[in-house]
Each structure stands twice: as C-alpha cells, then as structure tokens.
Structure 1
C-alpha cells in the first residue's frame, strides 16, 4: 500500500512540475518519429492531390446576339450543338469527343443582355482560350445557314488565364503537413506517458525519498573492446573514483 501511495504522489508531483523544458525534451527525444509521420502524411497528400485535383483553367469569349430573349435562348442552345462543336474539334485537332467538349462549355447571357459569354474549362489554359475563340468564330459562320440569322457579332476574344479556378493543391498539402505534426506530437506524448522508466536522478530521489550520491555512467561494450579499458569509473558526490 505504501508503494502505491508513493507512486500516486510521484505522479501528482510530476504532473505539477511539467514545464516547457520538459515538454521540449519529450519532443526532442522522439523527434525522428514526428519527422517520419510528417513526411508520410505530406507525401500522401501531395500524391493524392496530383492524382485527383488536376488544375483547371477557364477562358471566355463574348458575342452579341441581337434577338429578343425567346429567340436568343434558342440561338444560345445551338452553340453547344454537334453541328458547331464537330467543326471545332476538327479545326483544332482535338482528341476528345463532341459530347465531352460540350460538357466543358458553358453558355450564358450576361446580365440578361444580348451579350452572350462562351466559357470553356480545360486543364490547359491555352487550349481553353483556343476552344472558346474557335467556337465563337464557327458559330458566327454557321448560324446563318442553320437558323437564317445574321445578327451575330464577335465582341471580345478569350484571353489565356494562367490561374486555376479550382481549389489550390497547396492547401491539401498544407493540411497533410499539419496533420502529420499533430499526430506525431500526440503519439510522442502518448508513448512518453506509457514509459514508466526512470530517466533522471531527480525522479529517483522522488521515488525513494533519498538523495542520489553517485551514478554509473553508460558503458558500451564496443568501446570497451576498442580501448581495452580495465578500469570502471564511478562518480560519487561529484568526484570520480577508479575501480580496477
């Protein structure tokens, strides 16, 4: 019972005596573990981001369709029709299908005006601008034949946008880096709390309630063989005593 009581008191004293220096020493003792976990989580985040979050770029060209709202809606639908996009694919030499291309084109009226925006999303910023401009050009050429409508004018060409519109990949990598640090530090403190070994003279004194008069330094068998040491040194009260 006395042993248990002493252990409980020791635990309470240790909890009270925890300071920044002890926290630093705990982290320093297993810093390698934190670094390994951080590298793993950061690398995994970067790999996942590379595979699943390819950057997407968007460019828009604008045309003017001089028609009433009802007719303009019909004219806008034709922009994404295969009659127009099939010629876009052939002119630019695209490897994708017309259906796939149509899924990456957005057509919308700007503020309910006669100005219509043709927006293209692609993994290549230059190709996105080329597709938007080519679509607007071919549409202007073909719409008189399709609908007998000639009041379409090109307003502005699409410009290359070098900035991706989707979430930055660096954000996911940063999350992985922070998660690795948090998990690593948490694991280090967990392992330290489970380690009941005595690592300092102060802990021995608290455990036994007696002052420590001496200690035996660490000795490595390999070093003893190399140096052919026949004397063991014992420190007592700050003085070194040789023993053969």
Structure 2
C-alpha cells in the first residue's frame, strides 16, 4: 500500500492510503491540531531552552543596568500656587476662585520647565550644562486636584540634585512675581524644599531583570514551537497512528547503547 505524505500545520507529513474506502467526504482528511496537553509537552521537551534564554536575558539586563548605567538621584520640591488679596468688591465667589486657581496651577506647572527658568538656574549656579540638557533632567507636574506643583530634578550627584531643585523653585517664584505685579498677583511659593536623596532612583536592576526574564521566557517558548514546527521526526508509534491514520506494524529497535543492548521496543499491531 502506497502512502502519500501531506504537510500538516506543524510541518510533519500526514499520510493517507490511496485507494482506501471512505465512509464520508471528510473522513479522508486528517487535521494535525495540537491539543493543550501536546502544547505543554512541546514546552517540557525544550524547557531547558526556555530557562536558558530567560536567565541569559535577565542576567544581561541586570549587568547592563549595574555596570553601564550611571546612577541618578532625584530631589523634589513642592510649589504652592496662590493669589494675592485684592479688592474684595472685585473678587468672585470662593468656589470660582478655587476652580480658577486649579486651572492656573496646571498652566504654571508647564511654565516651570521652560528655557527662561533654566537659563536663570544655570546662571545662578554656574552649571556646565545647556538648557536642553537641564530640561531633560527636570520634571514638573501638578498634584491632581490641588494647587501644588511637584518639581523633580535628577543628577548623578545627590547634593547637586538637591541644590538645583531648590534653586529652581526660588528662581521660578521670583520669575512669577516679576511678571505678575498687579493687585491680584499670582504667587508661587516654595512650600517644601528638597531633601538630600540617599538612594538612587535609577537604574533599577531588579525591575529590568524581571522584565527581561519575562521577555526571555516568551522568546524561549516561541523558539521551542518553531523548532517543533521544523522537526519532521516521529517520536512514538502513537504519533504515527494519530497523524497517518494507519496501524503500526512494527518498530525497528535501535542499537548503539554502551551495553550493546537494543534500545526501543518492537510492536506488532497489524
């Protein structure tokens, strides 16, 4: 009886006997679909590959963060945005005033990280940096639903990070007072000054290692399925029967073990 191979979804040949009678139109087609149990078996057979890739990528990420990245320290200040008291007759209700200040605080947060403030801080401290580099290390954002702005500066030197953060608050406050001289002037007061940071905020080798570990595991599983797809060998008589629909008449034993004894077994199912 001649066997005609046909390529299945996993790259293995699916054999059908020619001339064999079929009870229905679709019974001569054998779909090679991997069950969940078989998927687990694929991963288990190449578990060493999954573990190896996960550990290699995790180790590489942690080594890169520890050896090649410069630690940075973050110093943070809080600025309170308010408004000077004006003529009571011209002032609106308290609710409108608070809502207006909340909206104004968001605009003020954007004004902190501007070139004019950066130039004043660089000049004041005589920093060897450009406004563009200064802006990359500075962040300012409004604390939601409050009139506070949180300003953070990152620097490899913790003392310098503290000094720059505090100076930024002072210069910004002075800048606001200069451009808002009216009776109802907007004020920006440094409410909380920066403390000396004790631990670096970056890099985070543990976080990088965990992310790389997860990515390496997914890459290893994908590679395991790719190798399974490219592997066209049969591993058991049951697999041959399932894919081809034929009975296994026998198996040729393998020799070559150190003791000279045959490996494998002979099965006669015909």
TM band (smaller chain) = 0.5 to 0.7
In structure 2, the CA distance between the partners of 1:130 and 1:189, relative to structure 1 (3 Å rule), is same
Counterpart check, 1:216 vs 2:253? yes
Task: Report how many residues are paired.
Answer: 209
The structure in which a higher percent of residues are helix is 1
Alignment-derived partner of residue 3 in structure 1: 3
Which of these residues, 214, 218, 224, is aligned with residue 188 of structure 1? 224
Distance apart, 1:198 and its partner CA: 1.9
Alignment-derived partner of residue 30 in structure 1: 46
Distance apart, 1:4 and its partner CA: 0.9
Alignment-derived partner of residue 97 in structure 1: 128
User: Within 1, Cα distance between the matches of 2:139 and 2:247?
Assistant: 79
In structure 2, the CA distance between the partners of 1:66 and 1:81, relative to structure 1 (3 Å rule), is farther
Alignment-derived partner of residue 20 in structure 1: 36
Q: Which runs of 5+ in 1 are unaligned?
A: 90-95, 144-151, 239-244
Matches within 5 A, 1:142-181: 155-160=191-196, 173-181=209-217
* C-alpha contact 1:126 1:160 (8 A) present in aligned 2: yes
Compute the RMSD of aligned alpha carbons.
5.6
Alignment-derived partner of residue 59 in structure 1: 76
TM-score by length of 2: 0.48
In structure 2, the CA distance between the partners of 1:99 and 1:36, relative to structure 1 (3 Å rule), is same
In structure 2, the CA distance between the partners of 1:188 and 1:86, relative to structure 1 (3 Å rule), is same
User: Within 2, Cα distance between the matches of 1:108 and 1:234?
Assistant: 70
User: Within 2, Cα distance between the matches of 1:233 and 1:41?
Assistant: 38
Distance apart, 1:133 and its partner CA: 3.5
Counterpart check, 1:129 vs 2:162? yes
Q: Could you report, residue by residue, the CA deviation over 1:72-110 in whole angstroms, capped at 9, with x for unpaired residues?
A: x9xx9986556x655645xxxxxx516468545679999
* C-alpha contact 2:65 2:204 (8 A) present in aligned 1: no
In structure 2, the CA distance between the partners of 1:85 and 1:203, relative to structure 1 (3 Å rule), is closer
* C-alpha contact 2:80 2:190 (8 A) present in aligned 1: yes
In structure 2, the CA distance between the partners of 1:56 and 1:129, relative to structure 1 (3 Å rule), is closer
In structure 2, the CA distance between the partners of 1:102 and 1:179, relative to structure 1 (3 Å rule), is closer
SS of 1:4's partner is strand
Stretch moving more, 183-192 or 4-13: 4-13
Alignment-derived partner of residue 58 in structure 2: 42
Distance apart, 1:2 and its partner CA: 3.7
Distance apart, 1:156 and its partner CA: 3.6
Distance apart, 1:57 and its partner CA: 2.0
User: Within 2, Cα distance between the matches of 1:22 and 1:126?
Assistant: 55
Alignment-derived partner of residue 199 in structure 1: 235
In structure 2, the CA distance between the partners of 1:61 and 1:98, relative to structure 1 (3 Å rule), is farther
